[in-house]
């Protein structure tokens, strides 16, 4: 495991309720090809803050990498809903394109 990844893991252990640490850790896990653990971290985050649009989008991408297409479709639909509600055009377009690729 990389030093950077281990540093984030320790932050999450020390501050388990800090959602920003968990989200950053999930990003690093994704970068280090550990999508399952990254999804676990994002799931925790989204249980606490279901309106976190970018976390839904990252989770969807990871689910796609894992071949979990039905989960990815659900995550992308939520991303699209939140992106519209929050006026985030670029993530909205990206999520729509990803969703179309799965349908």
| Mean residue pLDDT across the chain | 96
pLDDT of residue 1: 58
pLDDT of residue 56: 98
Among residues 73, 67, 11, 9, which one has the least CA distance to residue 35? 67
- State which residues of the chain have pLDDT below 70: 1
pTM of the model: 0.93
Sign of the dihedral through C-alpha 11, 17, 56, 52? negative
Between helices 19-31 and 35-48, what is the axis angle to 10°? 160
């Amino acid at each position: 495991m990389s030093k950077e990844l281990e540093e984030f893991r320790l932050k999450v252990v020390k501050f388990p309720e800090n959602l920003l640490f968990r989200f950053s850790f999930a990003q690093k896990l994704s970068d280090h090809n550990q999508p399952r653990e990254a999804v676990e971290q994002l799931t925790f985050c989204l249980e606490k803050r279901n309106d976190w649009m970018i976390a839904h989008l990252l989770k969807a991408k990871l689910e796609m990498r894992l071949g979990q297409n039905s989960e990815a479709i659900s995550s992308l639909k939520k991303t699209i809903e939140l992106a519209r509600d929050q006026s985030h055009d670029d993530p909205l377009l990206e999520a729509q394109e990803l969703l179309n690729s799965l349908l």
